[in-house]
A and B are shown apart, each in its own frame.
Chain A
Amino acid sequence: MLRKIGVLGVAAATLALAACGGTNSPTGAVASITNRGTLVNNPAFRVASLNAVDFTAQLGASTSGQQLLQLAGTPACGVDFYYLKYWTVGPDNSAQEASGALMVPTGSSAPCTGPRPIVLYAHGTTTDSAYNIADISDSSNSANSEAAMVAAVFAAQGYIVVAPNYLGYDISTLGYHPYVDGAADAIDMMDALTAARTALLSTFTPGTSDAGKLYVTGYSEGGYVAMATVKAMQAAGQTVTASAPSSGPYALEAFGDSIFFGQVNIGSTVFAPLVSTSYQHAYSNVYAQTSDVYTSTYATGIDTLLPSTTPLARLFQNNKLPQAALFDIKTPLSTTGNTAVDAAADALLALPSSPPYPASLAALFDSGFGASFLVNDAYRVGYVDDAVIHQDQAAMTLVSGGTLTSSNVGLAPTPAVGLRRDLATNDMRSGGWFPMEPMLLCGGDQDPTVFFQNTQIMAAQWTPYVAGGLVSVLDLNAAPGGPFAALQGGFQATYAQLVASQGATAAIQAYHPTEAPFCMVAARGFFAQVP
C-alpha cells in the first residue's frame, strides 16, 4: 500500500513537473565589477513612461508647468525616465556607487526616434540628500521640478538626457558631496554618461540610439560642473559637440573674495559648509577643527550637516545654520602688523561706502551680516588679509569698480589660506584652457545668488574666443537683441511680474531660480545651431 501511494505520488509529481516548462522570469543583470562608468543594473529601471499627450497634460495641470510649457514648447515626444545606478570614484579614488537619470524621447515622429543627440545635464545646488532627478513620479521629491524642466526642455524635444544626482545624494554612501570640486564632479558626469550609453542599448525603445552628438549643460552649481566637465573631457581627448554652462560659480576664487569683501550672496550660509566640507575632504587644509572657520554657535557638526534629509527651513529653525548672516555685523579689523595690508584689508572688511554694485543689491548684501553669524571674525580677517597679499586680479578689478579685461582677471598664484588655495585650484580660470567647441554662457547680470561676474570673468579671460564667436555670452537682463532676444524679453517680463506681485525684496530671492528655464531653452536653441 505504501508503495502504491509512492507510485501515485511520483505520477502526480511528474504531471506537475511536465507543466512547469520554465523557470522564474529574470530581472536584469547586476554588474559584478565596480569599474568607472559601469552600469549597476542592466537594463536600467524605468521609473515612468509618459507619452507626449500625457506629459503635456501633466505639465498643464500646474501653474509652473503651464509656464514651462509656454517657454519650452509643447512636447513633441514622450519621455521615458530611467533610473541609472553606476560606479564612479570619489575624490579619494575609492569606488563609489552613484545614481542619476536617463531620459529617452519616445514616439514615432521624426525628432523622437532613431539616433538622437545626448544632453549631459548637471543639476544645481541642493541640500536634500535624497535628491533624485530620476524620480519624476514623486512630486514630493525635491528634484521633481528640475526633472520636469529638463525633460520638457530637452527630452520632450528629442534629446536624450543624462543627469547624475552627484556623489553624496540619493544612494551614494560617500557621506558628503564633492561640491565645486571640478575634477571630481567631472568624473561623476563622465561616468554617468558612460553608464547611460550602456543603458541606452537595452531600453524599452531600442530604436532610439546615441547619434554621437554630445551637449553639456547645467545650471548654477551645475553650470560650474558642466564647465568642469567640458574641461576634463577635452583634456581626456573626448569631443563635446557644444556646451552651455549657465549661471555657475566658475571664477571661484574671485567669487569667494567678493563674498568675503562683503558682497554676501543669497544662500551663502548654505554654500559655505558645502564648500568647506568638500575641500576639507579633498585637501585637508581648510581647518584643523571646524571652529577655526565657524563661530562656536554653529561649528559643532557643521562638517556633516549638508547634504541632509532635514529640510533647510528646519535647519534654520534648529539654529544649525543662520539664515543669511554669514559675517559679524560688527566689522573686525586686520591685525597683521603690516600697515599697508591692514589698511587695505580694513577697507575691504568694512561695508563699502561707495559700493561697486547696484544699490538694489546693497540691502541684500547687508542681510549677510548679523549678531548671530556663521564665519568667525578671525577667519574672515585672515582670508581678506590673504586676498590683499595674494591678489585675485579679477576680484580687485571688480571691487575697485573697474572693467574686466583679459589683462586684469588673473588668479592669485599662490594663496596662503587653505580654502582660498582650494578655490583657486578649482577655479575655471586655472590651467590656461579654453573651450575647443562652441560654448554659450547664459546668466543674468543682477543674479544675487551666483554673481554674473563669474560669467564676465570667464568671458574676459577668453576674450579672443568671445571675439571669434567660439564663446557666446547671454545676459538675460540685457536689452533684448540677437538670437535670444525673445528669451531676454521673456525673462525680464517674468521678473517684472514677480516684482509687481511680490515686491522687490521677495522677487530678488527668486531671481536665480527664475533664470533657469530661460537659460536652458537658450541652451537648446544654441545646441540646435551646432549640429
Chain B
Amino acid sequence: MKKKIVTVALGVAVALAASGAYADNAGPNDIRLGMYFVHYEATASDITGPYTPPGLNVHVQNVETLYVGYVRTLSSHFAAELAFGYPPLTKTEGRGPATLGSVPYNGRVISTARWVAPSLLLEYLFGDPSSRLRPFVGVGVNYTKFVARQSTAAGNAASGGPTSISLPVSVGPAATAGLAYELTDRWHAYASYSVAQVNTKLTADTAGIIRTSEIHFWPNTLVISVGYSF
C-alpha cells in the first residue's frame, strides 16, 4: 500500500514536470545543495513488552546533514521538489529511570539508525517570477526508510542482550514554507522550514523477548541551500 502511494506521488510529480512552463531563461531545472538541521518533536508510547518496567520511553537527538534537492519548475508559480538528505545517523536516547536495576538508562544512547528519507513536494511560489525574493509553500509526501539499525552496547545492556531493531518504512505527509532569493540569473539561495509526519513502530527483539513502542518523530527541518538552475 505504501509503495503504491509513493509510486502515485512520483507519477503525479513527473506528469506535472513534463507539462510545466518554464519560469525564466535559466531553464526549468534546479539542483540545490545545502544543510538540513533536523529537530525532532518526537513523541513515543512507553516501551511495552515482557520484563519491561513501566515508564520507559525514548528521546531522539537532533541531527544535521547534507541536503540535496532537485526542483523542476512547472509554471511561473508551481514547482516540484524531490528532496534528499545524506542519510543522517539518528540517535535515540533512553528516557525514564536513571537505571534499570544497576544498568544506566536515562540519557544513554540506546540505538542508532540512518534515515533514507526523500520527500516529494509540490510548491507554490508567491510573487512575480522576476522578483528576487519569492516566498513559497509546499505540500507533499515523505518516505522514510530506516537502515543500519543498531542497538548500541548501552542499549544491549539495558535490553538484556544483543538486540535487533525493526522500524518499518513510514510514508506520511510533508509540508514546507520558505524563501527563494535570486543571487544571479542561475544561482539562488533558499531557506525553508519543513515538517513531516514520520510514524513507525519500533520493535526490539532481545533473545526472543519482543518489546514495542509507537514513535511519532515529527522531524522539523530547517534547510539552508543554494541552487543552480539550468
User: Do A and B come together as binding partners?
Assistant: yes
Chain A proximity of B90: nearest CB distance (Å): 12
Do the beta carbons of A51 and B102 come within 8 Å of each other? yes
Q: Which range holds the interface residue count of chain B? A: 35 or more
The stretch among B35-43, B122-130, B161-169 that forms the contact with chain A is: B161-169
Interchain CB contact under 8 A, B165 and A25: yes
Would A27 and B207 count as touching, CB distance under 8 A?
yes
In contact, A24 and B165 (Cβ under 8 angstroms): yes
- Does A40 sit at the interface, judged by CB under 8 A? yes
Contact A47 B51 (CB under 8 A): yes
Most buried by B among A16, A54, A138: A16
A8-B70, A20-B116, A46-B161 are known; give 12 further A-B pairs, CB within 8 A: A1-B17, A5-B17, A16-B87, A21-B148, A24-B150, A24-B166, A27-B164, A30-B208, A44-B207, A48-B100, A48-B101, A49-B101
Within 8 A of A (CB), among B184-208: 205-208
Q: Is A361 an interface residue (CB 8 A)?
A: no
Nearest-neighbour CB distance to chain B for A234, whole angstroms, equals 33
Residue of A nearest to B13 (CB): A5
Q: Which residues of A contact B (CB under 8 A)?
A: 1-2, 4-5, 8-9, 12, 15-16, 19-28, 30, 40-51, 53-54, 78, 83, 85, 135, 137-138, 204
Contact at B87–A20, with CB atoms within 8 Å?
Answer: yes
Cα-based distance from A1 to B114 in the complex (angstroms): 30
Smallest distance from the beta carbon of B24 to chain A beta carbons, Å? Answer: 17
Q: In the bound complex, how far is the Cα of B51 from the Cα of A85, in angstroms?
A: 15
CA gap between A78 and B102 in the complex, in Å: 9
Q: A46 contacts which chain B residues (CB < 8 A)?
A: 160-161
A85 CB → nearest B CB, Å:
7
Distance in angstroms from A190 CB to nearest chain B CB is 22
* A30 CA to B210 CA, complexed, in Å: 14
Check: B179 CB closer than 8 A to any chain A CB: no
Q: Considering only CB atoms, which chain B residue lies closest to A39 in the complex?
A: B207
In the assembled complex, which residues on chain B have CB atoms less than 8 Å from the CB atom of A26?
Answer: 162, 164
Q: Bound state CA distance, A46 and B155, in angstroms?
A: 12
Q: When chains A and B are docked, how far (Å) is the Cα of A471 from the Cα of B116? A: 69
Task: Evaluate contact between B17 and A43: CB separation under 8 angstroms.
Answer: no
Given that A15-B86, A45-B161 are contacting pairs, would A27 and B206 also be in contact in the complex, using a CB cutoff of 8 Å? yes
Indicate if B18 sits at the interface (CB-CB under 8 A). yes
Tell yes or no: B68 within 8 A of A by CB: yes
A22 touches B150 (CB 8 A): yes
- CB-defined contacts of A19 to chain B, threshold 8 Å: 86-87, 114, 116, 148
C-alpha gap A64/B179 in the complex (Å): 68
- B208 close to A49 (CB less than 8 A): no
Q: Which of A24, A28, A30, A137 counts the most chain B CB atoms within 10 A?
A: A24
A40 to B72, CA, bound (A): 55
Complexed CA–CA distance, A138 and B148 (Å): 33
Q: Given A43-B161, A45-B206: A16 and B116 within 8 A (CB)?
A: yes
B8, CB-defined interface residue at 8 Å:
no
Q: Give the complex CA separation of A15 and B87 in angstroms.
A: 8
Cβ B207 vs Cβ A41 within 8 A: yes
Which chain B residues in 90-116 approach chain A with CB under 8 Å?
A: 99-103, 114, 116
Known: A19-B86, A44-B207. A54 touches B101 (CB 8 A): yes
For A138, list chain B residues within 8 Å (CB): 51
Q: Is the CB of B208 within 8 A of A40?
A: yes
B219 within 8 A of A: no
Contacts of B72 in A (CB 8 A): 1, 5
Query: Chain A contact residues: over half helix, strand or loop, or mixed?
Result: mixed
Using CB atoms, name the residue of chain A closest to B147.
Answer: A20
Question: Which chain A residues lie closer than 8 Å to B29 at the CB level?
Answer: 4
Given A27-B163, A27-B164 in contact, is the A45-B17 Cβ separation under 8 Å? no
Q: List 18 A-B pairs, Cβ < 8 Å.
A: A1-B18, A1-B72, A8-B31, A12-B68, A12-B82, A16-B87, A19-B148, A20-B114, A20-B147, A27-B163, A27-B164, A27-B208, A40-B208, A41-B208, A44-B207, A47-B51, A48-B160, A50-B102
**B183 beta carbon closer than 8 Å to chain A:** no
Given the known inter-chain contacts A45-B160, A135-B51, A204-B157, please indicate yes or no for A25 contacting B101, CB distance below 8 A: no
B18 and A43 contact, CB distance less than 8 A: no
A1-B17, A25-B164, A26-B162 given as contacts; is B84 within 8 A of A15 (CB)?
Answer: yes
In-complex Cβ contact of A54 among B68, B102, B148, B207 (8 A):
B102
Does B148 lie within 8 Å of A23, measured CB to CB? yes
Residues on A with beta carbons closer than 8 Å to the beta carbon of B99: 54
Interface membership of B138, Cβ < 8 A: no
Say yes or no: B84 contacts A27, CB within 8 Å. no
* Residues 130-185 of B at the A interface (beta carbon under 8 Å): 147-151, 157, 160-166
List chain B residues, Cβ under 8 A from A43.
161-162, 207
Chain A, Cβ-Cβ closest to B29: A4
B14 within 8 A of A: yes
Known: A1-B18, A19-B87, A204-B157. A137 touches B101 (CB 8 A): yes
Q: Does A50 contact B86, Cβ atoms closer than 8 Å?
A: no
Residue from A12, A15, A25, A30 having most chain B Cβ neighbours under 10 A: A25
**Residue in A9, A20, A137 whose beta carbon sits within 8 Å of that of B148 in the complex:** A20
Q: Which B residues are in CB contact (< 8 Å) with A20? A: 87, 114, 116, 147-148
Contact A5 to B70, CB < 8 A, known contacts A20-B147, A46-B160: yes
B109 to chain A, nearest CB (A): 13
The residue of chain B having its C-beta at the shortest distance from the C-beta of A54 within the complex is B102
Chain A, Cβ-Cβ closest to B149:
A24
For the complex, what is the distance from the CA of A43 to the CA of B165, rounded to whole Å?
A: 17
B118 interface residue per 8 A CB criterion: yes
> Are the C-beta atoms of B208 and A85 separated by less than 8 Å?
yes
